[in-house]
Structure 1
Amino acid sequence: MKNTEKQKELYFEKVYDNIRNKGYHTTAVLEEDNFTPFAYSTGIFENFKIPELFISGLGPNLSGEIIQNYVEKYKFSEVSLNEKIDDLVENFPVYFIKIKNENLSEYVLTSIKFYENKEYAYLQLIFPDLKGKFPNEPGYDYDQTIVGEFLL
Structure 2
Amino acid sequence: MTAPVCNIHATAIVLGTTGFLITGASGSGKSALALSCISEARRRGRFAALVADDRVDLSLENDRIIARCPPSIRGLIEIRGGGIVAVETVSACVLDWAIMPVRPSRDARLPPENERLQLEIGRSLPLLRVPVENPVSPFDALHALLPKNLAL
**TM value normalised by structure 1:** 0.34
Higher percent of residues as helix: 1
More strand as a share of residues: 2
Compare relative contact order (CA 8 Å, sep 6+) and give the higher one, 1 or 2. Answer: 2
Name the TM-score, length of structure 2 as normaliser. Answer: 0.34
